[in-house]
Amino acid sequence: MIPRIYIPGDSGALALGAEKVAKAIASELAERGIEAKIVRNGSRGAYFLEPMVEVATANGRVAYGPVKTSDVKSLFDSGFLTGGHHKRWLGAPDKIPFLAKQTRLTFARCGVTDPLSLESYKKHGGLNGLTNALGLTPAAIVAQVTESGLRGRGGAGFPTGIKWKTVLDTVGDRKYIVCNADEGDSGTFADRMIMEGDPFVLIEGMTIAGIATGATKGFVYIRSEYPHAVAVMNKAVEIARKAGVLGASVLGSPNAFDMEIRVGAGAYVCGEETALLDSLEGKRGMVRAKPPLPAHKGLFGKPTVINNVISLASVPVIMDKGAAFYKDFGMGRSRGTIPIQIAGNVKYAGLFEAAFGMTLGEIVDEIGGGTATGRPVKAVQVGGPLGAYFPRALFDTPFDYEAFAAKDGLIGHAGIVVFDDTADMLKQARFAMEFCAIESCGKCTPCRIGSTRGVETIDRIAAGIEPEKNLALVTDLCNTMKFGSLCALGGFTPYPVMSSITHFPDDFKPAPVRVAAE
């Protein structure tokens, strides 16, 4: 048997030197005259161990990491091709605590398989969901997705099955499935990982959505900051088309479904679903008023399902193992698993898929291991630039849509950014306003103008100019933005701003007091 070596091609791993490691291993193989197959897999998401190299041995996979190019010679000398011991030896990857504690449903194959091998995909349970779906009526597929309790993983948490049912029930000569892969929130990378590490699961999920709703065309709108994901998705669509997964006859059935990959152009607001639709149509990415819902009048005015990458990528496992299996995980009205992305100033950064219900403290302290700098955690921002900053006092909040809403926060796309005690929360609040000003599409005045006035007012607080009065003004402004903006950009920017003010009032005190307090 030719040895197989897995070296991630995931951009997170590449950013940490995976390409150089791959080259070093290839040249070492050539030099030693060893024949081996190098597979560029996705990442398993334990980025503190990347680049994590794995070898397939008679006793299963053995991982080594983080591997540097300088380790390569000694790895060969230690006999790593048969799992030999080395200082970078990690043992069986699924026994690594960070990975062993997870419940991998959506990310079951990510980092395990060759992303562009349909064979490998099928061998690991791929296409089972689609095959099952093809044996059901559209209404039965929709019912199963509804029954699973799956809610939109993009941030809004709207029940996916209900969205699909609306499109199924709407008459249209042409319907679309649009995948929102404009993952612009800082602290999130789950969409990127799936697209780079298991692209067929997204294609399968979109195809199921098409069959369930009567849509025959799909678009994946990927942000331009993700060139690697764009490349992998394009190749995967091509492969799926050739294999008959996509096309006029999906897996030989009478159903037609095909899709295209589209690339954004650097506008954060296009992650908002209606702005994304306008952008796909070739317009400025301006937010639309709802109604009409995209499910009634979406892309080019046709009934459209628009879902996040993770929502769609979670559908195959639901259709494979059943709604009850999926629903069994989670708590309250948050069913199934959620890929939590632990990021920022944290020791063990990476993707952690788990059932809903872990507390924020467990995630940050136990899984994440506290800060990378070793200093105390001051704040964590959950849900991207529009998510609230939570202090330690709220670490008992369970990871659940409703529990976070009850504490004036949101789960969003499940990214968690950790800050140590050097963070200045006034600066973070100011950044939230500044970011809103940069990225506002300009449609709603509270967002377009309010964000700029917000920056100015926070600057006045920082300068000690009438702080009480200006704090009241910011609060009032946040209220106007929250209720006077069409979409989440203007509407949710108040979350990071107000949570900073509420939970970290000392950072907003006039400068002399702040200095004295230190």
Partner 1 sequence: MPMQPASTEITSRTAAIIQELKGLEGPLLPILHGIQEEFGHVPHDALPVIAEALNISRAEVHGVVTFYHDYRSHPAGRHVLKLCQAESCQSMGSDAVAAKLKQLLGIGFHETTRDGSVTLEPVYCLGLCACSPAAMLDGQVIGRLDDEKLDEIVAEVRS
Residues 42-81: x where in contact with partner 1 by CB under 8 A, - otherwise, as a string = ---x-xx-x-------------------------------
Do 508 and 440 meet the contact criterion of CB atoms below 8 Å apart? no
* 260 part of the interface to partner 1, by CB under 8 A: yes
Out of 20, 235, 241, 262, point to the residue binding partner 1 (CB under 8 A). 262
Q: Which residues does residue 304 pair with via DSSP β-bridges, in sequence order?
A: 176
Q: Interface with partner 1 by CB under 8 A: which range of 14-22, 27-35, 357-365, 443-451?
A: 14-22
Distance from C-alpha of 117 to C-alpha of 465, rounded to nearest angstrom: 62
- What does DSSP assign to residue 363? I
Per the structure block, which two tokens stand in for 353?
């898929």
Question: Which of 395, 398, 423, 420 has the alpha carbon at shortest distance from 411?
Answer: 398
Q: Interface with partner 1 by CB under 8 A: which range of 25-33, 154-162, 219-227, 454-462?
A: 219-227
CB of 78 to partner 1, least distance (A): 26
Nearer to partner 1, 205 or 264 (CB): 264
Per the structure block, which two tokens stand in for 174?
């042409």
How many residues does the structure list for the chain?
A: 518
Do 190 and 339 meet the contact criterion of CB atoms below 8 Å apart? yes
* 188 part of the interface to partner 1, by CB under 8 A: yes
Nearer to partner 1, 118 or 436 (CB): 436
Sign, CA dihedral 450-452-453-454, equals positive
Per the structure block, which two tokens stand in for 436?
């809103």
Nearer to partner 1, 281 or 466 (CB): 281
Out of 126, 155, 157, 187, point to the residue binding partner 1 (CB under 8 A). 187
CB of 190 to partner 1, least distance (A): 9
Distance from C-alpha of 172 to C-alpha of 442, rounded to nearest angstrom: 31
Distance from C-alpha of 146 to C-alpha of 416, rounded to nearest angstrom: 28
CB of 435 to partner 1, least distance (A): 7
CB of 461 to partner 1, least distance (A): 19
Do 110 and 313 meet the contact criterion of CB atoms below 8 Å apart? no
Residues 398-457 touching partner 1, rule: CB under 8 A, are 415, 417-420, 423, 428, 431, 435, 438-439, 441
Out of 351, 354, 360, 455, point to the residue binding partner 1 (CB under 8 A). 351
Question: Which of 359, 409, 361, 419 has the alpha carbon at shortest distance from 386?
Answer: 409
* 381 part of the interface to partner 1, by CB under 8 A: yes
CB of 206 to partner 1, least distance (A): 16
DSSP-based three-state secondary structure for 498: helix
8-35 burial: b if 16+ Cβ within 10 Å, else e: bbbbbbbebbbbebbebbeebbeeeeee
Out of 211, 263, 313, 367, point to the residue binding partner 1 (CB under 8 A). 263
Cis peptide before 303 (omega within 30 of 0): no
Residues 451-490: x where in contact with partner 1 by CB under 8 A, - otherwise, as a string = ----------------------------------------
Please give the residue ranges that form the binding site for partner 1 (CB under 8 A).
Answer: 11-12, 14-16, 45, 47-48, 50, 183-189, 191-192, 217, 224-228, 260, 262-268, 279-285, 300, 341-345, 349-351, 372, 381, 384-385, 415, 417-420, 423, 428, 431, 435, 438-439, 441
